[in-house]
Each structure stands twice: as C-alpha cells, then as structure tokens.
Amino acid sequence: MHGKSKLTGHVWSIFDLDFKRVVNQTDYINEHVLVKQEANSIELCRKMLYKNGLCIIDLSMYLHEGATDTFHIEGEHIIYTFFINGNSYATNQDGSGSYDITIGMGHRRYTGDFNIHVDMKPDNDVRYFAIFMTKAYYLNLLDNEKWATQDALFRSVKKNEMMKSRAEYFNINHAMINLLFNMDSQASTIDNRTHFIELKLKQLFLSVQDSLLHGITSFTELREDVHVLQKLHAYLTVNYVAPPTLKELARQFFLNEKKMTSTFKAKYGLTIHGYVTKLRMEKAQSLLLEGKPIKVITLDLGYQSISHFIKTFKSYYGFTPTLVKKRVHTMKSVIPLLLFVLPDHALALSSLPF
C-alpha cells in the first residue's frame, strides 16, 4: 500500500508513505511532523503517526489562496476520514461522483486504488484526520472485538467485498473528536505508544459504528441533514429569547422531531434545550456584569418569572445571580479578566470568592 497527498503548485508533498519501504518493521509507531509556511499562500502543519500497515494523518492548514489536494492511495486498504473544519469540494477520479465536504462529516470505505481531488477555497482554515490501514492490519486490530462482528465494514473486509463506488458517511460526534485529539496530543508522551494508539482506534471505530447504527449512512441524507441542522442551529442562536417548541421547530424545518433532537445533540454535543439555556445564561452573565437589574434580565431573556430565571441560573452556574450583583461593584476589574482568560464561564464565576 502506498499513500500520497500533494497540493497542486507545490513541489513538496503533504505526505508520501510507501509501506513497503517502512524501515521499522517492529510494533513501534513512528512519528513525523511537517510544517510549511509560504507567504501569501499557505500555513500548514501535518502530523503523521505510522507503522507497517497503519498511517494516521492530522492535517491543519490555512490557505490564503485556493488549492487542490490530490489524494491517492494505491493498493487494497481501509480508510476513515474525519472533516473537522474547512470548505472543500471533492471529486472522485473513478467517476463515482463529486460532493461538498461538510464540517462534521466523516466517511469510511474498503477499496482498492483510491484517487480523489479536493478543491479548497481561498481564505480557508482546513483540518481533517485520515486513517488508512492495510486489510491485514485492520483485521488483526479488530479480530477479537465482539462488537466488530456486527459492524458492516468489518464483515465486508472479512468477506473481501470492496466498496468500489460508495462509502459510508456518518456525523462526527464529540466522542470521536475527543478520541482523535487525545490520540494525537498524547501519543508522544505515552511509553507504550502502540498499545495506546490501537486502544484509541478501537474506541474510535466503535463510536463510528454506533453513529452509523443510530444515524445515517448515505451521503445525500447526511448532506441534507447537516445543512438543515446548521440552519436550525443558526436560527436558535438568534432566537434563543423566545424559541419555538420542539414540535414547532420540527414543523418549521421539515424534520422528524425525534430525529431532529438526536442528530442535533450528536452534532453539537447539547440538546436543543441545553443549547438555548447555554445562550441565555451567557447573555445573563454579560447583563449582570453590566449592572442590569435581575427583573430586567428576566424579561429580556424571555423567562416568565424571576424565580424561574434564578433557579435556572443557579442550576447552571452553582450560585444565584444575586450573589453576582452583590460582588460586581467590588470585582469589576477581576471578573471580566477571568471570563476573558477562562473559556468555561461556570468555572470562571465559581472560582470567585462568592
């Protein structure tokens, strides 16, 4: 198996790995980092973890100008990709189709030679993970996992049934992102790197299987769902003061209510109610620090009563808004600084001497 990725117009490759030439045939996982900065063109950081039969790519790049990534894998292989950020358009060179690459989209497939061109727009911040494996490595990794016997991809590989013209698409959830980032950031510090990586891969592939079992598998359905969810998310972001009921939202966005709630949580990590509450509480915090009366904040955020607002605020932050108001005059210089430095607002407020 041979994998290569190269940007048009550049002499260097993002990666170029021929497993036949991997010198280290032991169980040790190698690491290689590539950093490129070209003025008014590209800023790129690529981390690659690899051993015989396995390659994990973590690519982050900012494109000042548009570019095309020619991605090629030669030989029988299994590939998982996770698109974390960026606007891109992919064209399969085997004639099987073209599609938009959507943030939060993942796909997997078992195939032979694989060629794809990914067109990326200018002023584009791109990040993706790609994991590709030989058939032997993949089967050996999962052969003793009971859950794998129920996995459609694993069964296809066992039967030698390649997915020549299609892939399975899935929504990336927070569990997958945490596993990818954890695997990427801690691999360098773990003594038994191979065991650690392979444990995370098993957990990651199980999470993908769970997403497929409870989500969607076709690209058309995924593209439509993600597009509608993004619209729904944007709508709630500006209408959190008086959001419609779940039934009204489902009707407004032409979605099944149960599917809408489950896919929203899978994509954004919060329920719809939880996301609306988060927006309201962040705004409440801002208004309290501005010195607004609790009664005014209650009305401004759409709560029916002061007691309901106070109860929600205390449940979210761990203390009442009254305590914030009592200290706001003496803590004016401290609270904004903490809130700016610490991303977790609840942690920032709860760390104050209330």
At 233, which amino acid appears?
A: H
Secondary structure percentages of the chain, helix, strand, coil, to 5: 45, 25, 30
pLDDT of the residue at 334: 52
- Residue-wise DSSP of 302-319: T-S-HHHHHHHHHHHHSS
Per the CB < 8 A criterion, the answer to whether 130 and 80 are in contact is: yes
Closest C-alpha among 306, 311, 239, 316 to residue 285? 316
pLDDT tens-digit map of 71-81: 888 889 999 99
pLDDT of the residue at 335: 47
Architecture of the 2-217 domain = Sandwich (2.60)
pLDDT of the residue at 165: 54
pLDDT of the residue at 332: 57
The parts of the chain modelled with pLDDT lower than 50 are 217-220, 335, 337, 340-348, 350-354
Q: Which residues contact 80 (CB under 8 A, 6 or more apart)?
A: 106, 107, 108, 129, 130, 131, 132, 204, 205, 208
Q: Distance between CA atoms of 305 and 310, rounded to whole angstroms? A: 9
pLDDT of the residue at 343: 47
pLDDT of the residue at 330: 59
Q: Distance between CA atoms of 8 and 335, rounded to whole angstroms? A: 49
Per the CB < 8 A criterion, the answer to whether 126 and 120 are in contact is: yes
pLDDT tens-digit map of 5-32: 998 888 888 888 887 766 555 567 888 8
Q: Distance between CA atoms of 201 and 15, rounded to whole angstroms? A: 21
Per the CB < 8 A criterion, the answer to whether 208 and 147 are in contact is: no
How would you label 150-168 residue by residue, b for 16+ Cβ within 10 Å and e otherwise? ebebbebbbeeeebeeebb
pLDDT of the residue at 108: 93
Average pLDDT, the chain: 82
pLDDT of the residue at 169: 84
Q: How far is CA 67 from CA 24, 124, 127, in A?
A: 34, 10, 14
Q: Which residues contact 179 (CB under 8 A, 6 or more apart)?
A: 200, 203, 204, 207
Q: Is 246 helix (H, G, I), strand (E, B) or coil?
A: helix
